[in-house]
């Protein structure tokens, strides 16, 4: 996180980027980084995650081998007792009240359940997010039509949130109608954030 934050600051100082229009994306472990970043910083103005967040639900529904890997590599065992503070620090869902970045989640049907704690929490808090679930997919989406859909939607999401740009294609009118409603949520969240 420190390296990403430093890179954004350096590029902004150099005038290479506009710090008010920075997005972040990630796949797999990179999605975990995305979710951590947006729940612990305010650097990003649009985010896309293709993978799970490190939320407590992950521990309870993961396979034994994945749970062992979490314990081994991240020292994260059951999310209660002595490990609850570690999960509290790591989990985007447990820190969702601090998320002010619109989030697009691209989930495989084999894995979307891992993102549900975050998705439900964001919905309950009226935070702007959208999740797409791709049928008959695994960790990496490999069906060409799904990959194309993800690439296209990712670009449109970034254009919408970072450049205030919409594709005029009438076939996409419903998508932008939904996203404009998400923008209203974002504006309400920003108003709440600025009043504190």
Question: Which is the catalytic residue, given 28, 130, 146, 166?
Answer: 28
| 82 a catalytic residue | no
| 166 a catalytic residue | no
Cα→Cα distances 167→14, 18, 104, Å: 31, 22, 17
List own/partner pairs for 179-186 with CB under 8 A and 24 or more apart.
179/130, 182/102, 182/128, 182/129, 182/130, 183/128, 185/126, 185/127, 185/128, 186/100, 186/102, 186/128
| 65 a catalytic residue | no
Question: Which is the catalytic residue, given 29, 42, 139, 190?
Answer: 139
Annotate 11-25 with DSSP letters as a single string.
HHHTTSS-TTS-EEE
List residues with catalytic annotation.
Answer: 28, 111, 139
């Amino acid at each position: 996180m420190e390296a990403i934050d430093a890179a954004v600051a350096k590029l902004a100082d150099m005038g290479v980027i506009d710090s008010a229009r920075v997005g972040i994306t990630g796949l797999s472990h990179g999605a975990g980084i995305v979710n951590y970043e947006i729940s612990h910083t305010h650097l990003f103005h649009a985010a896309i995650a293709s993978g799970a967040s490190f939320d407590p639900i992950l521990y309870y529904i993961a396979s034994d081998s994945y749970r062992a890997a979490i314990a081994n590599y991240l020292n994260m065992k059951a999310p209660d007792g002595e490990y609850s503070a570690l999960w509290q620090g790591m989990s985007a869902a447990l820190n969702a009240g601090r998320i002010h970045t619109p989030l697009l989640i691209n989930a495989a049907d084999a894995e979307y359940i891992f993102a549900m704690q975050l998705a439900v929490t964001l919905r309950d808090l009226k935070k702007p997010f959208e999740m797409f679930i791709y049928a008959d997919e695994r960790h990496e989406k490999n069906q060409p039509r799904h990959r194309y859909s993800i690439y296209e939607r990712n670009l449109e999401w970034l254009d919408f949130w970072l450049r205030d740009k919409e594709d005029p294609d009438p076939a996409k009118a419903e998508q932008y109608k939904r996203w404009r409603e998400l923008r209203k949520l974002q504006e309400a969240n920003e108003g709440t954030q600025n009043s504190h």
